[in-house]
Structure 1
Amino acid sequence: MFTPHRTVATLTLLFATFAANAQETASDEQSSLPDDLMNQCLKIAVTGAGKEMSVGALREVCNGLAQSEAGQQSSVRGALEALDQEDTSETQSDPTGNSRLLDRRLSMEALNRANRFLLTPHKRNYLLPVSYQEDRNTAPYEAANSPLAAPQSTEVEFQLSVKILIREGIFGDNGHLYMGYTNHSLWQAYNRDISRPFRETNHQPELILSFINDWEVFGFRNVVNEAIIAHQSNGQSGDLSRSWDRIMFNSVFERGPFAFAINPWYRIPEDEGDGPDDPTGDDNPDIEKYMGNFELSAAYQRKDNIISLMVRNNLSSNNRGALELGWSFPVSSTVRGYLKVFNGYGHSLIDYNHHTTAVGLGITFTDLF
């Protein structure tokens, strides 16, 4: 689920080879790297490690990745394939027998924190060459006298989402501060009549304080808890301007092949201004009525397929919000196919108060896990 990088790929091969050898011994003891492989791992990882990353922390990352690979690779052939593709057919189990779906992602993120030359994927990164949206929202463009008042129903949709570590271990060995950025774009690539413009681009920078966790709650493992300050804007002005600021909390849980996240938020109030033409005023004062004040997301992995669900609502009687279904599946060693179906409000910020159904098909470069 991470962007290709030679250091990560080399370590993946190293750990997978170790896993293949370890399985031949049929040992029931917890996997741990032998001295020679540990030295190789440290030589690779230390080349990009930040000054805050201790040798002990690097050793823990190496052992953690080795344990993850031990549950995922079954042969030396699988180890070679790991250079190009992550095996998602199996997941590590804890001592109680519950599968740990997100351990591989957490281990790889720990390694990325040791390499200051890496950007870590944040949300899904995908490209949908075909994204069809019925019942186009033309009112904002008509009010702005924009050529996009007559958009095509089929366009290109893509998302780029990354984060970078700012500070590690603020509270002892936990509490990692990241800066994240997500770009979600809708491109009228097939609309030659109006010179193929970008219909909408949403920018979301975030400041994320992340805590790795291992609590058991009603049989589910609480893996990560995050406090987030987020700004989202479409970068427009006048009648097309949309933006809001939020304080968000995100908690991720897993059990077996199932994972889910609870993400409530509080909107930071804005001044009303002196009317719709006042640039200092609130562009969308009723956005919470449509976009809600929380989001629930879930994912289920079966072999190489991942089924995902997102529900957004405000728990009010008007029942506005959104529902999104996703399915990702293997296509090649570097990308996965991705089908996304969205129904509701807020497919993009310009459509925050417009109900629509959008169906997109394409590829994802970094998946959920």
Structure 2
Amino acid sequence: MLTPGDLRHIVLRSLIFFALPLSALATDANDLQNALRTCQSEFGEDARRRLLCFDQVAQQYAPTSPAAKIHTSKQAALVEKVDAKTNYLARKWHLNADDELHFTDLETYQLNYVVAAYSNNPNEVPTSPSRPNTQDRDLNNNDLHFQISLKTQLMNLSDWLPENRWVHSARLWGAYTQQSFWQVYSASQSRPMRDHNYSPELILSLGLNKPGEPKQWAALPDMVNLGVVHESNGRSEPLSRSWNRIYLQGGWQLNDRYSLLFRPWWRIPETKSNDDNPDISKYMGYGDAVLRWDNEANTTAASVTLRNNLRSDNKGYVKFDVQYKPLKSESVRFYAMLASGYGVSLLDYNQAQTMFGIGFAIGE
């Protein structure tokens, strides 16, 4: 027979048995709410990173997850992981092998923009060693300059990669970029198009580091792109210009805010009769480098692009640009650019000038 003391002991054990799980559930619920508040407060202006943060929280606090009892002290690590997966290189080139893309998912490649531009030295009489020219185009110093640049994934090769410690993702991209220079302010000349530059590309992109994980080697790029690109202006002689290149581009995410792209290239030789611009490498150099900065909220970005021929005559090019998102729109941005040197356009490859433009950009 149970004594009153035995009954009290059983009741106390029962209360402890049921109270502990309820207490744990309450703790997990509080942690979950705090984690969701962290996502909202840290990424309130960035829908992409906010959604990824919510996904991370859902995985972290799933009932079957061994990490379900991670407490609020881990929220800083959560934010850091989201930042790593959404930094510039990771989001631009989808370095996560699990990112699902389709052929119809068009993305921005280089920046898409429209600017009112001013040049201090427009190329009135474009010429090259193989295409002499004497016709003066009587250009206005002002242009409406715009660029359209898109890419799409042709194949995700990540599943085909053999087991290795170096390459974690592989994607084959097709890209197209077009720059146009419109003499919209030259009413007396019927507002002609000064030049178009057409540039299709094929790019194999390899992710060498999983975003959010330590690097195998500190100096290893986060990604490498192997590309082949054709660029021409589609004009007839003597204004025809074109060249073909193969390039190898390395990308380093230096930290959450800074990224570096370095791209040496090799020009594919042409026959003498077909070469519109045999000295183009003398002016356009043998590669370029881009250093980019993003602010913490991803509302402002600035970059500098450099080219140089690495020769004693030192012909080069530098471009500064700034993007600012004044509205809540994820895509439309204020844009300003300042470029100086050779090769502002393909037709101007051997004409030095300084060009300033201000307008709007879409994407990044």
- Correspondence for 1:325 among 311, 320, 330: 320
Q: Deviations over 1:186-233 (max 9, x none)?
A: 111222112222111100111111111118487466221011111000
What letter is aligned with 2:157? G
Of the two, which has the highest radius of gyration?
Answer: 2
Alpha-carbon distance between aligned partners in 2 of 1:362 and 1:34, rounded to the nearest angstrom? 45
Secondary structure in 2 aligned to 1:211?
strand
Helix, strand or coil for the counterpart of 2:104? coil
Q: Give RMSD over aligned pairs.
A: 3.3
Q: 1:116 — aligned with what?
A: 103
2:189 counterpart of 1:194: yes
- 2:104, 2:152 within 8 Å by CA — same for their partners in 1? no
Query: Cα distance, 1:16 vs. partner?
Result: 5.4
> 2:105 touches 2:153 (CA, 8 Å); kept in 1?
no
CA–CA distance in structure 2, aligned partners of residues 17 and 316 of structure 1: 52
Change (3 A) 1:181 1:34: farther
Identity of aligned residues (%): 29
State how 1:131-170 maps to structure 2 within 5 Å: 131-140=117-126, 143=133, 145=135, 149-169=137-157
> Letter of the aligned partner of 1:157 in structure 2?
H
Residue aligning to 2:343: 346
**Cα offset, 1:309, TM superposition:** 0.5
What is the letter of the counterpart of residue 224 of structure 1? Answer: M
* Residues in 1 aligned to 2:59 and 2:282: alpha-carbon distance in whole angstroms: 52
Letter of the 1:229 counterpart = V
Deviation at 1:144, TM superposition (A): 6.5
Whether the 8 Å contact between 1:109 and 1:120 is mirrored in structure 2 is no
Deviations for 1:83-106, whole angstroms, at most 9, x for unmatched residues? Answer: xxxxxxx97159xxxx95533444
Q: Please, what TM-score do these two structures have when normalized by structure 1?
A: 0.69
Matched, 1:270 2:270: yes
Q: Which residue of 2 aligns with 1:76?
A: none
Q: Unmatched 5+ residue regions in structure 2?
A: 1-45, 64-74, 162-167
SS at match of 1:262: strand
Displacement of 1:263 after TM fit? Answer: 0.5
SS at match of 2:59: coil
**Kept in 2: contact 1:175–1:210 (CA 8 A):** yes
* 2:336 partner letter: L
Q: 1:155, CA displacement in angstroms? A: 1.0
Mapped to 2, the partners of 1:18 and 1:217 lie a distance apart of 27
Q: What is the distance in 2 between the residues matched to 1:189 and 1:210?
A: 38
**Relative to 1, partners in 2 of residues 1:71 and 1:366: Cα closer, same or farther, differing over 3 Å?**
same
* Residue pair 1:144, 1:239 contacting (<8 A) in 2 also: no
The match for 2:228 is 229
Between the aligned partners of 1:101 and 1:301, the Cα distance in structure 2 is 8
Mapped contact 1:91–1:101 kept (Cα < 8 A): no
* 2:27 equivalent to 1:32: no
1:215-226 correspondence to structure 2 within 5 Å: 216=215, 219=218, 222-226=221-225
Q: TM-score, normalization: structure 2?
A: 0.70
Matching residue's letter, 1:336: R
Other-structure match for 1:25: none
Question: Which whole-Å CA distance do the structure 2 matches of 1:132 and 1:112 have between them?
Answer: 41
- CA change 1:127–1:91 in 2 (3 A) is farther
Residues 101 and 203 of structure 1, relative CA distance in 2, 3 Å threshold? closer
Q: Please, which of 58, 61, 79 is the counterpart of residue 71 of structure 1?
A: 79
1:180 aligns with 2:175: yes
Deviation at 1:32, TM superposition (A): 2.5
Moved more, 240-249 or 118-127: 118-127
Matched, 1:244 2:243: yes
- 1:314–1:255: structure 2 CA closer, same or farther, 3 Å change rule? same
Worse-superposed segment, 134-143 or 299-308? 134-143
Residue 114 of structure 1, CA deviation: 2.5
Structure 1 distance, partners of 2:174, 2:187, is 37
Query: Structure 1: which amino acid aligns with 2:266?
Result: Y
2:353 matched to which residue of 1?
A: 356
Instruction: Measure, in 2, the Cα distance between the counterparts of 1:11 and 1:326.
Output: 23
Deviation at 1:301, TM superposition (A): 2.0
Other-structure match for 2:17: none
Partner of 1:86: none
